[in-house]
Amino acid sequence: MVSKSGIARWTFSKHRWLALIGGISLLIWGVSGFTHIAMVLFGPQQAQFMPPTSTLQLQGARPLADILAGAGIERAVAVRTVASRDGSLLQVTADPMQPRRYFNPASGAELPDHDRVQAEFLARHFLDEDRPVAAIDLQGQFDAEYPWVNRLLPVWRVRFSGDDQLTAYVHTETTSLAAVNNLSKTRLQAVFRYLHTWEWVPQSMEWLRVLVIAVMVGSLVALAITGTLMLVTIRRKKRLQGSKGWHRIAGYVLALPLLMFSVSGIYHLIQSAIERPTSHLRMASPLDLGGQRFPVTEHWDEVTQGLDVVSLSLLEGAGGRPLYRLGLAAAGARPPMHEHDHADQGEHAAPSTPTTDREIRNARFDGVQPTGPALYIDAETGDVAPQGDRELARIIANRFMGASDESIAGMGLVTRFGPDYDFRNKRLPVWRVDYGAPYDTTVFVDTATGTMVDRLENWQKAERYVFSFVHKWNFLFPIGRLGLNAVVGAFVVALIVLMAGLGLQLYWRGRARPKPSS
């Protein structure tokens, strides 16, 4: 039977042997992890949370079918109205990776190259910026400054003049601010990319990246385990002086956080290596815009009587039947922006609308539902469609999965971000559709555009929860986003200073001490 003193000697020798690689690893991931917290807490922040809206007035407008036919558009991925600086416009997506086309509903005239104009309008709205635009271009792929975690493509990269290099990434399809950068955030992103995720390693050397990171982070796990065993097996009647004493005290407090960060990090690394992170966003199949259409614009007053309609889109329902989707204003949302009214309305916002910097930051990460319910009208007959959002979500999900209703295990409306569907997806609300065997997966669909936003296999869900609650400490959500990051940041700093700093100091002292003669 191994004695307590034997365990102590063994763990002490292994702990010292691991000190150098573990201390360096802790410095690398501690410093780079802190840059992520700094980006969240101090990075550039949007000034407006809600997208621009205007009460939709289409009485007297040209029929949508005539506008599309006149432009020679027979098929389109998405057809919807959007709020712009010139009032409500008809937006048409013919190719998801190309600029959107815009039409004036009243005259039917196309506005050439207006997607660029719309992107600048949205950037100014979300950031409340009046500075001149230094550069604007369409970006069709992810890069170091706009990584894959942002999910949305293509986006317009709108950079404002100034030394801070404030840059907005705007997704006009969803009327959203996909990301916002400035010079300081770009530099922090570079540190995080090079030291924390090691994304600079070529794809052909992925196996080496995983191996080196696994060894280095594994050393932290071993350090935490051997250190804990030393605390249990080696008892001190009084506290040691100097670095040794402080290092031992730090061990009692920081051993568990070190284990949490490192074990969950390895779990995340392995799962990411098994299946490279990718966007599962899929736009709807092109709609056939031919055939007869109910002239909804001619009956607009009748159709919308008593309703606050803010958007109109054309979707495909059951059996390929076209539907008009009338999006209604969200309860408690910002009052509608009337045409040509660009004034800041923050002081008139309803209490539920995020307005302060802290409220907007929390809303971005926790999720606030910016849209309201919807009414569906048969686009061929003008009758109110029997199905609502739930029914259409089921149809869309089955269409993407090639599945039937019998495979659906459950459904629900998602109005807040969480581990399964997090803030990187950016869209709310969405419908969650859970599939049983043989699919064993969950898909999230946006009924406003007929889009599959994300897909999550059942085997991936455990890692999502571990990474969310163990690595990012989201179990502290009751104290708020600011408090959560402050607590995590404090523990990261303590790990770097007290564990890595003191530990490496003790290691080098031991190396420098003269060895006893034989």
What is the identity of the amino acid at 295? Answer: P
pLDDT at 358: 52
- 143-174 exposure pattern, b = at least 16 Cβ within 10 A, e = fewer: eebbbeebbbbbbbbbbbeeeeebbbbbbbbb
pLDDT at 333: 47
Q: Which fold has domain 388-458?
A: Nuclear Transport Factor 2; Chain: A, (3.10.450)
Say if residues 450 and 438 touch (Cβ distance below 8 Å). no
Identify the H or E element spanning 454: strand 451-457
Round to whole Å and give the CA distance between 334 and 51: 9
pLDDT at 352: 55
Percent helix, strand and coil across the chain, each to the nearest 5: 45, 20, 35
Closest by CA position to 275, among listed 476, 16, 455, 89: 455
What's the pLDDT tens digit per position in 406-421?
999 999 988 888 888 9
Identify the H or E element spanning 160: strand 155-160
Residues in the chain: 518
What does the domain layout of the chain look like in residue ranges?
Answer: 4-42+201-277+484-512, 86-182, 388-458
pLDDT at 132: 96
What is the identity of the amino acid at 44? Answer: P
Say if residues 32 and 191 touch (Cβ distance below 8 Å). yes
pLDDT at 366: 52
Averages of pLDDT over runs of 10 residues in the chain (518 residues) are 61 67 82 84 84 84 89 91 92 93 95 96 95 96 88 94 95 92 92 88 88 89 81 66 66 82 90 79 84 81 86 86 85 41 33 55 52 81 84 93 94 87 84 95 92 92 91 81 77 71 64 54
